[in-house]
Amino acid sequence: MNGEELRKSLKLCDWQKAQDLVRKWEAEGQHTQKPKKTAVVPGWDDFLADAQARGLRDSTLRKYRLLKRQMDDFAGRSGLSFLADFDLQVLGRFRATWEDGPRSSAKKLERLRAFFRFAQKRKWIPENPAADLKAPKIPLCPTMPFDCDEVVRTLAAVEQYKRQAPSTAGNNAQRLRTLILLLRYSGLRISDVVSLSADRIKGNRLFLYAAKTGVPVNVILPDFVVEAVEATPRVSGARLFWSGAGKLDSVVRSWQTRLRRIFELAQVPKGHAHRLRDTFAVELLLSGVPIERVSVLLGHQSVRITERHYAPWVRARQNSLRLICNALGASIRWCFSKQRVQKRYTGMRRRLTDCKQKGNFGTRGGSRTHTALRPEDFKSSAYAIPPPGHITWQ
């Protein structure tokens, strides 16, 4: 084969199949070998080691470890030992065991595809069977920000939480109020606010992140938010909500539990921390701030992500759609008023004349009689459509 002698067993019992395999090698001009079988657990260990070397977040690694345990358990119950045993049909049965919602299931499917793509690059499997699995249909969840009354009730519930909590939780109640204000007026995620250090606030400017060009991105905080931050007792050093020891995810879950209690006391249904971030973004859009700038403040990698979640709240788009709908509604009411058209039609019937058009329709040389209107009839206000000059585009 290409000047090289091959002496090996084809591991076949049929001479015809052996000849067909050799002819296939000769036609392709190369010797193709079957990939070496790799077990499920060692494959996952190599994948997790590579993911950790790439510096993925602990939250992402935790989700990969969960998927590994679920896949290992499914392989043990199904009698599967190697990655090559997981074809499209087997992966379909494995996905059927998931008890996640549509959005979580779609994210887990992305992680499963990433693992099998890693195995394919390592030549453990010939192809990625997870690539042919269709993602579940995710229902569109509209962004629901808090209104002004809900924000006021949430802040007022902090005092009620302080009275019900033990005396040692007084500092946490004050930190809760600052946490709510920062979530509302900075647009940060709760994990970013929990890990926030007071050193990032200079005057009334909160440093969000550095752009790819090295330019810092800041947000202006109201004076009462800055005063609340300055009055908040520190946990450790300049940190407001986290000492820096232990895992950040555990601390974030603790603050989320306290926030859920605040929303229950405020009687705010479906209240969670991310809705405060949505309130920050929606208020900017309704104030006329371009969606491109809102995307920068939210830290999105692309403006398309911002449009997917916040496009219905763009003020200019709302004004344009409202003006278009008003203009069309006025035109339809003005043009197709039943009494106006009927009255005009009754008056024009007396002025209808007969005309003959020859050679246009029907048989050769034949003619038909049509009713024709005078040119000035089409200039009548009953049939004219008002020009859209009153439509103003923002």
> Could you report the per-residue pLDDT of 264-302, keeping only the tens digit for each?
999 998 899 999 999 999 888 888 888 888 998 898 888
Produce one character per residue of 40-75: b if its CB has 16 or more CB atoms within 10 Å, e if not: beebbeebbeebeeeeeeeeeeebbeebbeebeebb
Q: What pLDDT, on a 0 to 100 scale, did the predictor assign at position 366? A: 44
Confidence of residue 391 (pLDDT cuts 50, 70, 90): very low
Mean pLDDT of 13-21: 90
Helices 291-298, 273-286: crossing angle, 10 deg rounding: 150
Structure tokens, 288: 């006329």
Going by C-alpha positions, the residue among 251, 100, 279 that lies closest to residue 188 is 279
Strand partners, 219: 206
Count other C-beta atoms under 10 Å from residue 187's C-beta: 24
Contact (CB, 8 A) for 246 and 261: no
Q: Which residue has the higher pLDDT, 196 or 4?
A: 196
* pLDDT tens digits, 120-137: 999 898 889 999 999 888
Task: Look up tokens 């034949």; give the residue.
Answer: 366
- In whole angstroms, what is the distance from residue 292 CA to residue 290 CA? 5
DSSP 368: E
- In whole angstroms, what is the distance from residue 62 CA to residue 48 CA? 10
pTM for the model stands at 0.65
Confidence of residue 97 (pLDDT cuts 50, 70, 90): very high
Residue 238's contacts (CB-CB under 8 Å, 6 or more residues apart) are 197, 198, 199
- Helices within 195-337 (DSSP H only): 223-231, 248-266, 273-286, 291-298, 303-310, 315-335
- In whole angstroms, what is the distance from residue 28 CA to residue 119 CA? 24
Mean pLDDT of 178-205: 91
Domain positions in the chain? 40-132, 148-313
Structure tokens, 290: 């371009």
Q: Is 62 helix (H, G, I), strand (E, B) or coil?
A: helix
Mean pLDDT, the chain, whole residue set: 80
Q: Which residue has the higher pLDDT, 309 or 156?
A: 156
Q: Which residue has the higher pLDDT, 36 or 386?
A: 36
Q: What pLDDT, on a 0 to 100 scale, did the predictor assign at position 16? A: 92
Integer angstrom CA distances of residue 2 from 19, 26, 27, 31, 348: 18, 9, 11, 9, 92
Contact (CB, 8 A) for 156 and 125: no
Q: Which residue has the higher pLDDT, 14 or 352?
A: 14
Secondary structure element (H or E) that encloses residue 325, with its range: helix 315-335
Secondary structure element (H or E) that encloses residue 161, with its range: helix 148-164
Structure tokens, 125: 């499997």
Confidence of residue 365 (pLDDT cuts 50, 70, 90): very low
Integer angstrom CA distances of residue 196 from 275, 279, 282: 19, 20, 23
* pLDDT tens digits, 104-113: 999 999 999 9
- In whole angstroms, what is the distance from residue 119 CA to residue 83 CA? 8
Task: Look up tokens 């050679």; give the residue.
Answer: 359
- In whole angstroms, what is the distance from residue 273 CA to residue 278 CA? 9
Contact (CB, 8 A) for 98 and 105: yes
Going by C-alpha positions, the residue among 254, 255, 319 that lies closest to residue 285 is 319
What's the CATH code, domain 148-313? 1.10.443.10
Contact (CB, 8 A) for 286 and 315: yes
CATH architecture designation of domain 40-132: Orthogonal Bundle (1.10)
